[in-house]
A = this chain, B = another copy of it.
Amino acid sequence: MTDRLVIAGREFSSRLIIGTGKYESYALNAEAAEAAGAEMVTVAVRRVNLTDRSKPLLVDYLDPKKYTYLPNTAGCFTAEEAIRTLRLAREAGGWRLVKLEVLADQKTLYPDMEETLRAAKLLIKEGFEVMVYCSDDPVYARKLEDVGCCAIMPLGSLIGSGLGILNPVNIRLIVEQSKVPVIVDAGVGTASDAAIAMELGCDGVLMNTAIAEAKDPVRMARAMKHAVIAGREAYLAGRMAKKRYADPSSPLAGLI
Protein backbone atom coordinates (compact mmCIF):
# COMPACT_ATOMS: atom_id res chain seq x y z
CA MET A 1 0.00 0.00 0.00
CA THR A 2 1.23 3.48 -0.74
CA ASP A 3 -0.51 5.37 2.06
CA ARG A 4 2.54 6.73 3.86
CA LEU A 5 3.03 9.41 6.49
CA VAL A 6 5.80 11.76 5.40
CA ILE A 7 7.31 14.14 7.94
CA ALA A 8 10.18 16.35 6.90
CA GLY A 9 11.06 13.94 4.13
CA ARG A 10 11.02 10.85 6.34
CA GLU A 11 8.52 8.13 5.45
CA PHE A 12 6.55 6.09 7.94
CA SER A 13 4.10 3.24 7.50
CA SER A 14 2.75 3.68 11.00
CA ARG A 15 0.72 6.74 11.92
CA LEU A 16 0.90 6.10 15.66
CA ILE A 17 3.62 7.77 17.70
CA ILE A 18 3.98 6.68 21.31
CA GLY A 19 5.61 8.13 24.36
CA THR A 20 8.27 6.93 26.77
CA GLY A 21 8.57 7.57 30.45
CA LYS A 22 5.22 6.70 32.03
CA TYR A 23 5.82 2.96 31.74
CA GLU A 24 6.75 0.74 34.64
CA SER A 25 9.88 -0.33 32.88
CA TYR A 26 11.76 0.17 29.63
CA ALA A 27 10.98 -3.46 28.84
CA LEU A 28 7.25 -2.86 29.05
CA ASN A 29 7.66 0.31 27.02
CA ALA A 30 9.41 -1.67 24.30
CA GLU A 31 6.75 -4.33 24.32
CA ALA A 32 4.05 -1.67 23.95
CA ALA A 33 5.91 0.00 21.09
CA GLU A 34 6.13 -3.34 19.34
CA ALA A 35 2.43 -4.05 19.85
CA ALA A 36 1.55 -0.56 18.66
CA GLY A 37 3.52 -1.07 15.48
CA ALA A 38 5.08 2.32 16.19
CA GLU A 39 8.02 3.56 14.18
CA MET A 40 8.56 6.72 16.15
CA VAL A 41 8.81 7.31 19.88
CA THR A 42 8.96 10.63 21.63
CA VAL A 43 11.46 11.11 24.43
CA ALA A 44 11.53 13.73 27.16
CA VAL A 45 15.17 14.65 26.87
CA ARG A 46 15.31 16.01 30.38
CA ARG A 47 13.82 12.97 32.02
CA VAL A 48 14.93 9.90 30.15
CA ASN A 49 18.33 8.39 30.64
CA LEU A 50 19.98 8.50 27.26
CA THR A 51 23.64 8.45 28.17
CA ASP A 52 24.43 7.20 31.72
CA ARG A 53 25.62 3.64 31.09
CA SER A 54 25.59 2.80 34.80
CA LYS A 55 21.78 2.72 34.69
CA PRO A 56 19.26 1.14 32.32
CA LEU A 57 19.30 2.95 28.99
CA LEU A 58 16.20 3.46 26.90
CA VAL A 59 18.19 2.82 23.75
CA ASP A 60 18.96 -0.70 24.93
CA TYR A 61 15.24 -1.48 24.82
CA LEU A 62 14.01 0.68 21.97
CA ASP A 63 16.61 0.39 19.27
CA PRO A 64 17.17 3.82 17.64
CA LYS A 65 17.81 2.00 14.38
CA LYS A 66 14.30 0.61 14.50
CA TYR A 67 12.50 3.56 16.08
CA THR A 68 12.89 7.17 15.07
CA TYR A 69 13.59 9.04 18.29
CA LEU A 70 11.69 12.29 18.60
CA PRO A 71 13.21 14.37 21.41
CA ASN A 72 10.67 16.61 23.10
CA THR A 73 10.79 19.50 25.52
CA ALA A 74 8.29 18.25 28.09
CA GLY A 75 8.60 20.31 31.24
CA CYS A 76 9.90 23.44 29.53
CA PHE A 77 8.01 26.63 30.35
CA THR A 78 9.99 29.15 28.29
CA ALA A 79 11.32 29.28 24.76
CA GLU A 80 14.85 29.46 26.10
CA GLU A 81 14.53 26.30 28.18
CA ALA A 82 13.08 24.47 25.21
CA ILE A 83 15.84 25.59 22.88
CA ARG A 84 18.57 24.70 25.38
CA THR A 85 17.05 21.27 25.83
CA LEU A 86 16.93 20.55 22.12
CA ARG A 87 20.46 21.77 21.54
CA LEU A 88 21.60 19.24 24.14
CA ALA A 89 19.58 16.56 22.37
CA ARG A 90 21.22 17.41 19.08
CA GLU A 91 24.67 17.25 20.64
CA ALA A 92 23.94 14.00 22.44
CA GLY A 93 22.22 12.07 19.69
CA GLY A 94 22.42 14.11 16.55
CA TRP A 95 18.66 14.56 16.56
CA ARG A 96 17.42 17.32 14.32
CA LEU A 97 13.79 16.27 14.05
CA VAL A 98 12.27 17.38 17.34
CA LYS A 99 8.97 17.96 19.09
CA LEU A 100 8.64 21.38 20.59
CA GLU A 101 6.38 22.02 23.53
CA VAL A 102 6.47 25.17 25.63
CA LEU A 103 4.02 24.83 28.48
CA ALA A 104 2.09 27.59 30.22
CA ASP A 105 1.34 26.10 33.61
CA GLN A 106 1.34 22.90 35.64
CA LYS A 107 -2.41 22.69 36.01
CA THR A 108 -3.36 22.45 32.36
CA LEU A 109 -0.03 21.71 30.69
CA TYR A 110 -1.47 23.76 27.86
CA PRO A 111 1.01 25.28 25.47
CA ASP A 112 1.91 28.94 25.73
CA MET A 113 1.31 29.73 22.09
CA GLU A 114 3.17 33.02 22.12
CA GLU A 115 6.32 31.40 23.49
CA THR A 116 5.82 28.36 21.29
CA LEU A 117 5.78 30.45 18.13
CA ARG A 118 8.84 32.38 19.26
CA ALA A 119 10.72 29.18 20.05
CA ALA A 120 9.69 27.58 16.76
CA LYS A 121 11.14 30.48 14.79
CA LEU A 122 14.43 30.33 16.67
CA LEU A 123 14.75 26.56 16.36
CA ILE A 124 14.01 26.56 12.65
CA LYS A 125 16.64 29.24 12.19
CA GLU A 126 19.10 26.92 13.93
CA GLY A 127 18.29 24.16 11.48
CA PHE A 128 15.91 22.04 13.55
CA GLU A 129 12.94 20.32 11.97
CA VAL A 130 10.18 21.23 14.33
CA MET A 131 7.05 19.24 15.03
CA VAL A 132 5.04 21.46 17.32
CA TYR A 133 2.59 20.80 20.13
CA CYS A 134 -0.06 23.49 19.99
CA SER A 135 -3.58 24.47 21.00
CA ASP A 136 -6.39 23.62 18.58
CA ASP A 137 -6.59 27.25 17.41
CA PRO A 138 -6.47 27.10 13.59
CA VAL A 139 -5.08 30.63 13.42
CA TYR A 140 -2.01 29.80 15.48
CA ALA A 141 -1.66 26.48 13.68
CA ARG A 142 -1.32 28.41 10.45
CA LYS A 143 1.25 30.77 11.94
CA LEU A 144 3.33 27.78 13.02
CA GLU A 145 3.13 26.28 9.57
CA ASP A 146 4.00 29.63 8.01
CA VAL A 147 7.25 29.89 9.98
CA GLY A 148 8.24 26.44 8.79
CA CYS A 149 7.12 23.82 11.29
CA CYS A 150 7.09 20.40 9.64
CA ALA A 151 4.15 18.98 11.58
CA ILE A 152 1.28 20.59 13.47
CA MET A 153 0.35 18.75 16.67
CA PRO A 154 -2.84 20.17 18.15
CA LEU A 155 -4.12 18.88 21.45
CA GLY A 156 -7.37 16.91 21.50
CA SER A 157 -7.81 17.73 25.17
CA LEU A 158 -5.65 18.15 28.27
CA ILE A 159 -2.44 16.11 28.39
CA GLY A 160 -3.07 12.91 30.30
CA SER A 161 -6.78 13.56 30.64
CA GLY A 162 -8.17 10.90 28.31
CA LEU A 163 -11.07 13.22 27.46
CA GLY A 164 -10.76 12.61 23.72
CA ILE A 165 -11.18 15.18 20.96
CA LEU A 166 -13.13 17.94 22.66
CA ASN A 167 -13.44 20.22 19.64
CA PRO A 168 -13.62 18.25 16.38
CA VAL A 169 -14.54 21.39 14.46
CA ASN A 170 -11.19 23.01 15.25
CA ILE A 171 -9.24 19.87 14.41
CA ARG A 172 -11.09 19.68 11.13
CA LEU A 173 -10.34 23.32 10.31
CA ILE A 174 -6.66 22.73 10.99
CA VAL A 175 -6.65 19.64 8.77
CA GLU A 176 -8.33 21.53 5.96
CA GLN A 177 -5.81 24.35 5.91
CA SER A 178 -2.57 22.48 6.58
CA LYS A 179 -0.08 21.37 3.97
CA VAL A 180 2.14 19.64 6.52
CA PRO A 181 0.98 16.62 8.55
CA VAL A 182 -1.46 17.21 11.40
CA ILE A 183 -0.96 14.88 14.35
CA VAL A 184 -3.27 14.95 17.34
CA ASP A 185 -1.11 15.10 20.43
CA ALA A 186 -2.75 14.79 23.84
CA GLY A 187 -6.19 13.79 25.00
CA VAL A 188 -6.71 10.37 23.47
CA GLY A 189 -8.08 8.03 26.15
CA THR A 190 -9.21 4.94 24.31
CA ALA A 191 -9.32 3.39 20.86
CA SER A 192 -12.33 5.21 19.53
CA ASP A 193 -10.72 8.57 20.35
CA ALA A 194 -7.81 7.69 18.09
CA ALA A 195 -10.19 6.51 15.37
CA ILE A 196 -12.11 9.78 15.58
CA ALA A 197 -8.91 11.81 15.24
CA MET A 198 -8.03 9.93 12.08
CA GLU A 199 -11.57 10.12 10.69
CA LEU A 200 -11.30 13.89 10.94
CA GLY A 201 -8.46 13.65 8.47
CA CYS A 202 -5.49 13.86 10.80
CA ASP A 203 -2.30 12.28 9.55
CA GLY A 204 -1.37 10.64 12.81
CA VAL A 205 -1.84 10.43 16.55
CA LEU A 206 0.63 10.73 19.37
CA MET A 207 -0.28 9.24 22.72
CA ASN A 208 1.34 8.31 25.99
CA THR A 209 -0.96 7.97 28.99
CA ALA A 210 -3.74 6.14 27.13
CA ILE A 211 -1.39 3.22 26.62
CA ALA A 212 0.88 3.52 29.65
CA GLU A 213 -1.97 3.84 32.15
CA ALA A 214 -4.28 1.23 30.67
CA LYS A 215 -4.65 -1.82 32.89
CA ASP A 216 -2.94 -3.86 30.21
CA PRO A 217 -0.66 -1.44 28.32
CA VAL A 218 0.48 -3.92 25.69
CA ARG A 219 -3.06 -4.90 24.81
CA MET A 220 -4.06 -1.24 24.65
CA ALA A 221 -1.10 -0.56 22.38
CA ARG A 222 -2.41 -3.23 20.03
CA ALA A 223 -5.89 -1.69 20.25
CA MET A 224 -4.45 1.68 19.29
CA LYS A 225 -2.59 0.25 16.31
CA HIS A 226 -5.89 -1.06 14.95
CA ALA A 227 -7.77 2.12 15.89
CA VAL A 228 -5.43 4.36 13.94
CA ILE A 229 -5.61 2.10 10.89
CA ALA A 230 -9.40 1.90 11.24
CA GLY A 231 -9.80 5.66 11.41
CA ARG A 232 -7.40 6.26 8.55
CA GLU A 233 -9.07 3.71 6.29
CA ALA A 234 -12.54 5.03 7.16
CA TYR A 235 -11.39 8.54 6.27
CA LEU A 236 -10.02 7.38 2.94
CA ALA A 237 -13.03 5.17 2.27
CA GLY A 238 -15.45 8.09 2.66
CA ARG A 239 -18.21 7.44 5.15
CA MET A 240 -21.93 7.14 4.37
CA ALA A 241 -24.08 10.22 4.89
CA LYS A 242 -25.92 10.50 8.18
CA LYS A 243 -29.68 10.21 7.89
CA ARG A 244 -32.39 11.35 10.23
CA TYR A 245 -34.82 8.53 9.57
CA ALA A 246 -34.61 4.92 8.58
CA ASP A 247 -36.52 6.11 5.54
CA PRO A 248 -34.21 8.79 4.20
CA SER A 249 -36.92 10.39 2.07
CA SER A 250 -38.39 12.33 4.96
CA PRO A 251 -35.61 14.19 6.78
CA LEU A 252 -36.05 15.07 10.42
CA ALA A 253 -36.69 18.77 10.72
CA GLY A 254 -33.03 19.69 11.11
CA LEU A 255 -33.29 20.08 14.84
CA ILE A 256 -31.28 17.10 15.97
Task: Using CB atoms and an 8 Å cutoff, list the residues of chain A in contact with chain B.
Answer: 104-114, 117, 135, 137-140, 142-143, 157-163, 166-170, 172-173, 176, 189-192, 194-196, 199-201, 209-210, 213-217, 219-220, 222-227, 229-234, 236-248, 250, 252-256
Query: What separation, in Å, do the CA atoms of A221 and B240 have in the docked complex?
Result: 12
Contacts of A104 in B (CB 8 A): 139, 142
Q: Chain B residue with minimal CB distance to A215? A: B238
A230 touching B226 in the complex, CB below 8 Å, given contacts A113-B139, A244-B161 = yes
Within the complex, the shortest CB–CB distance from A209 to chain B, in Å, comes to: 6
B173 touches A240 (CB 8 A): no
Partner pick for A160 among B162, B213, B243, B250, CB 8 A cutoff: B243
8 contacts between A and B (CB under 8 A): A107-B250, A192-B195, A192-B230, A194-B230, A195-B227, A220-B233, A227-B234, A239-B255
- Count of identical protomers in the assembly: 4
- Taking a contact as CB atoms under 8 Å apart, the answer to whether B161 and A239 are in contact is no
B191 touches A231 (CB 8 A): yes
* Cβ–Cβ < 8 Å partners of A138 in chain B: 108, 110
**Inter-chain contacts of A142 with B (CB < 8 A):** 104
Task: State A176–B158 Cα separation when bound (angstroms).
Answer: 16
Once A162-B240, A220-B237 are accepted as A-B contacts, the answer to whether A110 and B135 lie under 8 Å apart by CB is no
Q: Give the 8 A-B CB pairs with smallest separation, nearest first.
A: A215-B238, A223-B233, A109-B246, A226-B230, A191-B234, A220-B237, A227-B230, A219-B237
For the complex, what is the distance from the CA of A189 to the CA of B196, rounded to whole Å? Answer: 12
Nearest B-chain residue to A195, judged by Cβ: B192
**Closest residue of chain B to A177, judged by CB?**
B107
- Alpha-carbon distance A196/B190, docked complex (angstroms): 9
CA distance A170 to B139 in the complex (A): 17
For A248, the closest partner residue in chain B by CB is: B160
Report yes or no: B255 in contact with A234, Cβ–Cβ below 8 A: no
Q: Which of B159, B195, B252 is close to A195, meaning CB atoms less than 8 Å apart?
A: B195
Q: Which residues of B contact A161 (CB under 8 A)?
A: 242-246
